[in-house]
A and B are shown apart, each in its own frame.
Chain A
Amino acid sequence: MMGYSSGLPFGWDLAGMLIGYLFSLILFSFLLRESFLVRLGLYLLVGVSLGYAAVLAWHDVLLPRLFRPLFTAEWGTLGAGPWASPLWQLLAPALLGLLIWLAGARLMLRGQIALPGPVDRLLAWLTPLPLGLMVGTGVGTALAGSIQGTLLPQALAATDLATPAGNGVLAAVALIITTGALLYLRLPAAGALGLPWPVAWLVRIWAWIGQRGLWLAAGILFGQLILSRTTLLVERLLYFIHALPNSGLWMWLAALWGGGG
């Protein structure tokens, strides 16, 4: 069997196709009306997705990267070869993960199970730590990334006449619209500065241009989104038209019909 295939025998592939076809039709029946079947389809979609994600997290991450090395390795070092891990590299995430789990359990069971006071206070003090660590790391990483990957390179490219982005006319238009959009979004603050009327008039015109720039950008984004969703809809309808005829189901039915006849 080919390395990358479903790995399932033909009958299971066909069953999967039929189930997918059926649920696609069920979800499309929303056009008729919202019904129990539509909700069933939605609930199943969400439930199966969450269940699959949980199994994948256990199978691909927690088991091979945390629990198996944690329970099979010798003290001092865990794992073998060039990717040997000191013990703390496994214990620290395990402890933090446990605290997040306890935070969730404490939240869900509040009012139902009364924990002893000291335990509850200890949990209340400890459980924000991993959450704070996660949020802080995420925000810090995103901020540094946006500076090093978007803000600086884009600013440098916009001022580099050798690049298409730094081309004279394009760069000037981009500069006017960008600053105009900024002025438009912050105009109330600018108006409160008590600027002399010629400057205030200029600022208003600039902001007016920025507002139109924002409209234009929103229109382009929306147009591209429509194009994208159009393709999705056409593909789904083509699936309805071609999936069953190409599935081999007819061969099965013909064989059954011939055998029966």
Chain B
Amino acid sequence: MSSTFGCPHCGHSNAVEAAFCGGCGTNLQEIDAALLPADDLFPVKKKGAESGESTPPPADPAPPAEPTALTEPTAPEAPPADPAVPKASPPPPAPDAPDRAKPAPDADRVPLPMLLSRFQQEWRGAVPPLPEEALQDLAKRAVQQPPSPERMDDEERRRLRNLINEDIPLLDLPQRPANTQSAAQGGELPRQPWIGWLVVVSLLAVLLLGDAPATVTVHAWPGVEEAHTAINQLSPESVALINWAYDPATAGEMDLVALPVMEHLIRSQSRLVVISQLPGGPATARRLMARAGQQISPQERAAFFDSNLVEGGFLPGGASVLALLGQDPATGLPVDAQGSQTDGRLAITRLEQAPPALTLVFAAQAEGVQRWLEQVQPLNRTPVIAVVSGAADPALRPYLESGQLAGLVSGYSGGLAYEQRNARNLSRAEERLHQQRSAARNWLLWLVILLALLGNLAAHSTERGWGGWRP
């Protein structure tokens, strides 16, 4: 049995070493010890430990009974292994009594060294280790902290929550002094909701009222030109395989990168086989291709959708299936829902004899491209172009430098640079959108830099005892 304490958000009983609440997912590392009463930080010790003995392991390895909220599991303790050893302490309180209902005396607490050891051993690697002095200071203050009226409010809320068995919004709680205390130690800063408001409102103002630049200057990183050249060299009869590794969650950025590349691919008149390992991938691909189709002539559009496009569909199975795709694409690629011999199926089957002339990976995460480069490309040796979000760029650039990637188009600026190479005349609405995006991004980046500087200044001032900085 492990010691438990109640989550301050939902009351769920969690193990002391738990990083997140098992009931509501609250980050328990953020709990400030100063707010918790002493029995939360130092749960009631077991009987065996109380008498100086180690607690024997439970005889039955079956899962424990459902613990009641805010209490220890109520299974009776095993008798001491050696009855000759006298008990040095008085009998413990009844095991079924809630921990919070009675103030635990100091003698009933887990020894501090044991707690520190547990913190250091079990949280190592997951969080930066806390210095022992800080923990000891934290423990002293927690013991001295008297119960506050806010604490009583929390208890009442929990009782009410148990009664009606539903979640009650707790966000109207007064801001806890916990974070301030923690900030005084140089730890986390209190959450500032006004920052979110400042970002959103100022961005809306820039988008609606701002003076957008007349021309957008684009810095093209290496890889864009190479990608454009590789697609230019596709012959009308060749097959290009597309791995669609993003879904609507990241489509806001990825569509901006993928759209000009897809327009270029459609104009190349090569056959495209589109597969995705994400459930939402095929639908996202369909939507973007429909958008790209609106930018080309009706004849080109008809030729593409009627004969040049093969929807491979959803391909579950992760990296294992990708390896199969590199060895035997006809077996690895999914079939259409009817399992019939469609044109698309034949095109996929032909990949077995002749690998695709080019592979494109549209991915929001670097792992999507890395998995392809690790599992498929070493087997079929097909040139790969990565079309990725800005966040994936640093992890993938070494693959471009080593020649494993034939091209790399990343982030909004990469998409914009590619669009300029397409040399398509933009409509006034599209130009206006580009200008708005650029103005908003520039503003937001300056704002982020400013906030980061101010945040660091605030953290340093509180850490050095300058009184802190709060708006």
Note whether A and B form a binding pair.
yes
Known interface pairs A49-B279, A231-B256; A145-B336 also in contact (CB < 8 Å):
no
Contact A64 B256 (CB under 8 A): no
Shortest CB-to-CB span from A40 to chain B, Å, is: 11
> By the criterion CB–CB under 8 Å, are A4 and B305 in contact?
yes
CB-defined A-B contacts under 8 Å, sample of 24: A4-B286, A4-B289, A4-B305, A28-B200, A56-B314, A57-B316, A61-B314, A81-B341, A82-B330, A83-B330, A149-B378, A150-B370, A157-B401, A163-B402, A165-B401, A224-B391, A224-B411, A227-B441, A228-B253, A228-B389, A231-B441, A232-B252, A233-B203, A233-B444
Q: Considering residues A4, A81, A156, A235, which has the most beta carbons from chain B within 10 angstroms of its beta carbon?
A: A4
| Inter-chain contact B279/A53, CB cutoff 8 Å | yes
Are the C-beta atoms of A231 and B253 separated by less than 8 Å? yes
Residue pair A137, B378 in contact (C-beta under 8 Å) = no
Give the residues in chain B near A225, CB-CB below 8 Å.
390-391
- If A3-B309, A231-B390 touch, whether A141 touches B200 (CB-CB below 8 Å) is no
Please indicate which of the listed interface residues A82, A165, A226, A230 has the most CB atoms of chain B within 10 Å of its own CB: A230
Partner of A65 from the list B196, B339, B349 (CB cut-off 8 Å) is B339
* CB neighbors of A among B387-405 (8 A): 389-395, 398-399, 401-404
Question: Which residue of the partner chain B has the closest CB to A246?
Answer: B429
User: Which residue of chain B has the shortest Cβ distance to A52 in the bound complex?
Assistant: B279
Expressed in whole angstroms, the Cα–Cα distance for A229 and B293 within the complex equals: 27
Q: In the assembled complex, how far is the CB of residue A213 from the closest CB belonging to chain B, in whole angstroms?
A: 13
Chain B nearest CB from A141 CB (Å) reads 5
- Are the C-beta atoms of A235 and B334 separated by less than 8 Å? no
7 tightest Cβ-Cβ pairs between the two chains A and B: A149-B374, A3-B305, A157-B402, A145-B374, A235-B252, A53-B279, A228-B391
Of all chain A residues, the one with the shortest Cβ separation from B413 is A227
For B208, list chain A residues within 8 Å (CB): 241
Residues of B within 8 A of A226 (CB): 445, 448
Which A residues are in CB contact (< 8 Å) with B330?
82-83
**Residue ID in chain B nearest A111 by CB atoms:** B63
User: A31: nearest residue on chain B (CB-CB)?
Assistant: B196
Given the contacts A53-B279, A163-B403, A165-B398, A237 and B445 also touching, CB distance less than 8 Å: no
Q: Return chain B residues, CB-CB under 8 Å to A121.
A: none
Evaluate contact between A165 and B319: CB separation under 8 angstroms. no
Docked pose: A35 CA to B412 CA in angstroms: 33
| Any B CB within 8 A of the CB of A5 | yes
A238-B309 in contact (CB<8A):
no
Chain B residues whose CB sits within 8 angstroms of the CB of A163 once the complex forms: 401-403
Number of interface residues of A (CB under 8 A): 69
Chain B residues with CB under 8 Å of A41's CB are none
- Is B169's CB under 8 angstroms from A224's CB? no
With A and B bound together, what is the CA distance between A154 and B339 in angstroms? 41
Query: Which residues between 209 and 235 of chain A lie within 8 Å of chain B, taking CB atoms?
Result: 217, 220-221, 224-235
Given contacts A33-B171, A145-B319, A221-B394, contact A237 B63 (CB under 8 A): no
B288-326 residues with Cβ-Cβ distance < 8 A to A are 289-290, 293, 301, 305-306, 309, 313-314, 316, 318-320, 323
> A36: CB under 8 A from chain B?
yes
Docked complex: A1-58 residues within 8 A CB-CB of B: 2-6, 28, 31, 33-36, 39, 49, 52-53, 56-57
Judge whether A2 and B197 touch: CB under 8 Å: no
Instruction: List A contacts of B371 (CB < 8 A).
Output: 145
- Interface check A68, CB cutoff 8 A: yes
Interface set, chain A 123-171, CB cutoff 8 A to B? 137-138, 141-142, 145-146, 148-150, 153-154, 156-158, 163-165
- Residues of chain B contacted by A53 (CB below 8 angstroms): 279
Q: Which of B13-21, B180-188, B432-440 contacts A (4 or more CB under 8 A)?
A: B432-440
Nearest Cβ distance between residue B253 and chain A, in whole angstroms? 4
Assuming A4-B286, A4-B289, A83-B331, is B448 touching A230 (CB within 8 A)?
Answer: yes
Given A56-B279, A149-B370, check contact A5 B444 (CB 8 Å): no
Check if B335 sits within 8 Å of A64, measured CB to CB: yes
Whether a CB of chain B sits under 8 angstroms from the CB of A236 is yes
Q: Would you call B338 an interface residue if the criterion is a C-beta within 8 Å of the partner chain's C-beta atoms? A: yes
Chain B residues within 8 Å of A81, by CB: 341
Is the CB of B114 closer than 8 A to any CB of chain A? no
Contact A52 B280 (CB under 8 A): yes
Are A149 and B253 in touch, CB under 8 angstroms? no
Roughly how many angstroms separate A55 CA and B466 CA in the complex, as a whole number? 59
Binary per-residue interface labels of chain B (238-274) against chain A in the complex, 1 for a CB within 8 Å, 0 otherwise: 0000000000001011001000000000000000000
Q: How far is the CA of A133 from the CA of B65 in the complex (A)?
A: 32
The answer to whether A31 and B437 have CB atoms under 8 Å apart is: no
If A145-B371, A228-B391 touch, whether A236 touches B252 (CB-CB below 8 Å) is yes
A63 beta carbon closer than 8 Å to chain B = yes
Q: Is B370 in contact with A142, judged by CB distance below 8 angstroms?
A: no
Whether a CB of chain A sits under 8 angstroms from the CB of B426 is no
A57 and B172 contacting across the interface, CB-CB below 8 Å? no
Residues of B within 8 A of A52 (CB): 279-280
Interface contact B323-A141, CB-CB below 8 Å: yes
Task: A149 to B375: give the CA distance in the assembly, Å.
Answer: 7
Assess the A227–B440 pair: CB atoms within 8 A.
Answer: no
Task: Tell me if B373 is interfacial: C-beta within 8 Å of chain A.
Answer: yes
Asked if B193 is at the interface (CB within 8 A of a chain A CB), the reply is yes
Is A59 on the interface with B (CB-CB < 8 A)? yes
Inter-chain CA distance A243–B91, complex, in Å, is 69
Chain A residues with CB under 8 Å of B320's CB are 137-138, 141
Contact check, B203 vs A237: say whether CB atoms are below 8 A apart: yes
Known: A56-B279, A153-B404, A157-B402. A238 touches B436 (CB 8 A): yes
Nearest CB to that of B395 among chain A residues?
Answer: A221
From residue B39, how far is it (CB to closest CB) to chain A in Å?
Answer: 28
How many Å lie between the Cα of A132 and that of B305 in the bound state? 43
Interface bits B188-227 vs A (CB < 8 Å: 1, else 0)? 0000010011011001100110000000000000000000
Min CB distance, B54 to chain A, in Å? 29
Residues from chain A with a CB closer than 8 A to the CB of B402 are: 153-154, 156-158, 163, 165
B96 beta carbon closer than 8 Å to chain A: no
Chain A residues near B252: list those with CB within 8 A: 231-232, 235-236, 239
Q: Which of the residues B334, B394, B445 comes within 8 Å of A230, measured between beta carbons? A: B445
